[in-house]
Homo-oligomer: A and B are copies of this chain.
Amino acid sequence: MPFTSCYLFERLSTPQLERLKSISREQKIQKGQWLFREDQEAEHFYLIKDGAIELLTIVDEKIEIPISMVRPKNGLVGIAALVPPHQYSLSARAAQDSTLLVFDRSDLEDLNHEDPDLVCIIMTNLAQKLLARLKETRQELKIHFMNLVRSVTF
């Protein structure tokens, strides 16, 4: 059950998890198919139940930069559907035949009227994850910087 292991749904109650499950639907996607492309309007986000989705950014028609491979355990793609301006910043393609749980942005917006606390918890979890990613990026910068200093000093 992917709900309980996804960072986005931490600290939600069992009824809240059930309510979320009720607005999701299953979707299959074959290896090599595109789930979404960068700059498209972000209408959905996806939990990966089975398989693998690769996130990448396209430099030009010949060059792709891989960003990450998202797998079932904590697998979530399409978080741009959760925050304005609701536009995917990466492209997503199935690296294997995969089964996804799809959530529509409009359903989540309806849920916000019904249970604002639920959406508040989700947004806090998302902010936490994003802040952690920024910290990792800065940590990498720091390591590169230290290596640079050492290579100049020694």
Chain A residues engaging chain B, CB cutoff 8 angstroms: 57, 59, 63, 65, 67, 79-80, 82-84, 89-90, 112, 116-117, 119-120, 123-124, 126-128, 130-131, 133-135, 137-138, 141-142, 145-146, 149
Q: A83-B131, A134-B133 are in contact. Are A65 and B116 (CB under 8 A)?
A: no
Which residues of chain B are within 8 angstroms of A82 by Cβ–Cβ distance?
A: 127
* Cα(A138)–Cα(B83), bound, Å: 18
CB-CB under 8 A for A145 and B84, given A130-B131, A130-B134, A137-B137: no
Min CB distance A91 to B, Å, is: 12
**Nearest CB of B to A60, in Å:** 8
**Complex: how many Å from CA A130 to CA B137?**
12
A135 cross-chain contacts in B, Cβ below 8 A? 89
Is there an interface contact between B83 and A145, defined as CB atoms closer than 8 Å? Answer: no
Name A59's contact: one of B119, B128, B142 (CB within 8 Å): B142
Q: Inside 8 A of A80's CB, which chain B residues have their CB?
A: 131
Contacts of A57 in B (CB 8 A): 138, 141-142
